[in-house]
């Protein structure tokens, strides 16, 4: 029994003294790039794509296939098979596959670049949103304190018959509602911090703490223009670069169709090459060449349509970000004035109530709620500006998004560790 108690005690102490880790917003970006599970997985896929190029190049060298050696030497099919084994570099489609694997490798790198940028942005936005929710939690607790003070005053007035009992009950109900809101928001913050740990590859047992950030003085910011960002956004968009590489690879698929009578290639196109699996290629001479060529041209048009749609999505998102950023700047004075008026009204009503003046307690409750709403709105404005700036940086690949893509360089150079 004593051993069990000691074990429980040790477990409790170890839990109470769980390791803490304090991180800053700057550390989030570097941590995600190095230890994010999704990024690490896709870095390995890039490594595989690079190795596929090497594999396809080496497949152009002669190889020994005992089954083909045992075939009759005068059989035409055997002769073609022997060419594939002894001189595979004489089969044009093998060279086309090498070129395709190179282009798909580059396309895969662009896909990876978009992925790590999105993961970094997601983590940084989650960081700021968590800080915002922690700030909301403090404001909610302040509201609870203010309501407790009001309940104490109303309780005294109820004793002397200056306030009806139902008002006191109503205020107590409202306080219980706020306590539940605090519980829910506290749980949300806890979940957000655990999600942050996962995004950065930090073990869940570690107690993560977030450093505060300096919020911008929105009043000092200047409006921005769409034209300032659109060209950089288009030039740096990995999604568009990926389409360009895939379309370039499509040219070699068309060449495969033309030269299929000299032998089909059995080598892989590499990672992402499955996008062309729906294009039929005949094995030898036949009447399907025209259809194959027309299908490749149609596939090229589909890629153009998708690329154009992606451009419009990028522009749409950029327009929205610019509009929202400017609207925050335009309306910040209204938010400041709203907060100031709500604070002044709360202080006035509170003073009147303390002095015993004939003030309706529900009017005091309204002033508390108005102050809370104004505080939340102003705080949210500042964090939304931070988030909008971060999204703009992601759109044009500025700031943390200009750095090398974390583990990719290490993985593609050294392979698996």
- Structure tokens, 190: 């806890």
Nearest-angstrom CA–CA distance, 283 and 128: 57
Mean pLDDT of 212-234: 93
Distances from the Cα of 91 to the Cαs of 60, 119, 258, 342, in angstroms?
9, 43, 12, 80
- Structure tokens, 274: 């499955």
Pick 27-58+91-404's CATH classification: 3.40.50.2000, 1.20.1600.10, 3.30.2420.10, 3.40.50.970.
Answer: 1.20.1600.10
Query: What pLDDT digit, counting tens, does each position of 133-167 carry?
Result: 999 999 999 999 999 999 999 998 888 888 888 99
Query: What pLDDT digit, counting tens, does each position of 228-280 carry?
Result: 999 999 998 999 998 888 888 877 776 665 555 444 545 554 555 556 666 65
Instruction: Using pLDDT thresholds of 50, 70 and 90, give the confidence band for residue 102.
Output: confident
Mean pLDDT of 376-397: 95
Query: What pLDDT digit, counting tens, does each position of 351-360 carry?
Result: 988 887 888 8
Mean pLDDT of 21-27: 90
Whether the Cβ atoms of residue 97 and residue 281 lie closer than 8 Å to each other: no
Query: What pLDDT digit, counting tens, does each position of 312-349 carry?
Result: 999 999 999 999 999 999 999 999 999 999 999 999 99
**What is the residue extent of each domain of the chain?**
27-58+91-404
SS3 207: strand
Beta-bridge mates of residue 207: 20
Instruction: Using pLDDT thresholds of 50, 70 and 90, give the confidence band for residue 30.
Output: confident
Whether the Cβ atoms of residue 326 and residue 259 lie closer than 8 Å to each other: no
CB neighbour class for 267 (10 Å; exposed up to 12, middle 13-18, buried from 19): buried
Q: Percentage of the chain with pLDDT > 70?
A: 68
Nearest-angstrom CA–CA distance, 36 and 120: 9
Considering 77-91, 92-106, 307-321, the range whose residues carry the highest mean pLDDT is 307-321
Mean pLDDT of 386-396: 94
Nearest-angstrom CA–CA distance, 273 and 335: 53
Does position 100 have pLDDT exceeding 80, yes or no? no
CA angle, corner 161, sides to 160 and 163, nearest 5? Answer: 115
Cβ-count burial 151-180 (b if 16+ within 10 Å, e if not):
bebbeebbeeeebeeebbeebeebbeebee
Nearest to 249 by CA among 89, 144, 70, 107: 107
Supply the pLDDT for residue 13.
Answer: 45
The rounded mean pLDDT for the chain is: 79
Does position 72 have pLDDT exceeding 50, yes or no? no
Provide the 8-state DSSP code for 335: H
Task: Output 65 or 210, whichever has higher pLDDT.
Answer: 210
- Rounded to a whole number, what is the largest CA-CA distance in the chain? 117
What dihedral angle (degrees, nearest 10) is formed by the CA atoms of 38, 41, 46, 48? Answer: -160
Supply the pLDDT for residue 82.
Answer: 43
Nearest-angstrom CA–CA distance, 117 and 393: 10
Does position 361 have pLDDT exceeding 60, yes or no? yes
CA angle, corner 77, sides to 75 and 79, nearest 5? Answer: 70
């Amino acid at each position: 029994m004593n051993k069990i108690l000691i074990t429980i005690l040790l477990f409790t102490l170890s839990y109470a003294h769980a390791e803490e880790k304090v991180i800053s917003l700057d550390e989030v970006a570097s941590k995600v790039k190095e230890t994010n599970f999704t990024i690490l997985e896709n870095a390995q896929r890039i490594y595989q794509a690079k190795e596929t190029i090497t594999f396809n190049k080496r497949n152009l060298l002669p190889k020994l296939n005992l089954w083909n050696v045992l075939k009759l030497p005068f059989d035409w099919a055997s002769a073609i098979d022997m060419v594939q084994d002894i001189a595979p570099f004489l089969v044009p489609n093998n060279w086309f596959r090498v070129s395709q694997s190179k282009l798909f490798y580059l396309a895969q790198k662009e896909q990876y670049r978009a992925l790590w940028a999105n993961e970094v942005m997601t983590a940084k936005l989650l960081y700021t949103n968590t800080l915002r929710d922690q700030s909301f939690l403090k404001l909610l607790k302040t509201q609870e304190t203010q309501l407790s003070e009001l309940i104490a005053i109303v309780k005294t007035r109820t004793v002397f018959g200056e306030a009806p009992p139902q008002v006191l009950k109503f205020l107590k109900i409202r306080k219980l509602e706020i306590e539940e809101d605090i519980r829910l928001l506290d749980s949300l913050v806890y979940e957000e911090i655990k999600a942050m740990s996962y995004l950065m590859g930090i073990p869940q047992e570690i107690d993560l703490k977030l450093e505060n950030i300096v919020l911008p003085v929105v009043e000092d910011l200047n409006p921005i223009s769409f034209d300032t960002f659109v060209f950089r956004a288009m030039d740096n968009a990995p999604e568009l670069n990926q389409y360009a590489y895939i379309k370039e690879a499509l040219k070699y698929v068309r060449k495969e169709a033309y030269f299929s009578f000299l032998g089909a290639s059995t080598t892989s196109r590499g990672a992402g090459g499955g996008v062309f699996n729906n294009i039929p290629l005949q094995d030898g001479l036949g009447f399907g060449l025209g259809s194959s060529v027309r299908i490749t041209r149609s596939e090229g048009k589909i890629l153009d349509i998708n690329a154009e749609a992606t451009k419009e999505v990028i522009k749409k998102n950029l327009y929205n970000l610019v509009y929202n950023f400017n609207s925050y700047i335009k309306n910040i004075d209204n938010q400041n004035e709203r907060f100031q008026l709500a604070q002044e009204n709360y202080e006035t009503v509170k003073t009147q109530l303390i002095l015993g003046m004939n003030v309706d307690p529900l009017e005091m409750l309204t002033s508390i709620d108005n102050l809370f709403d104004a505080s939340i709105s102003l705080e949210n404005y500042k964090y939304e500006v931070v988030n909008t700036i971060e999204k703009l940086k992601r759109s044009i690949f500025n700031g943390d998004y200009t750095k090398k893509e974390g583990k990719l360089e290490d993985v593609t150079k050294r392979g698996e560790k």
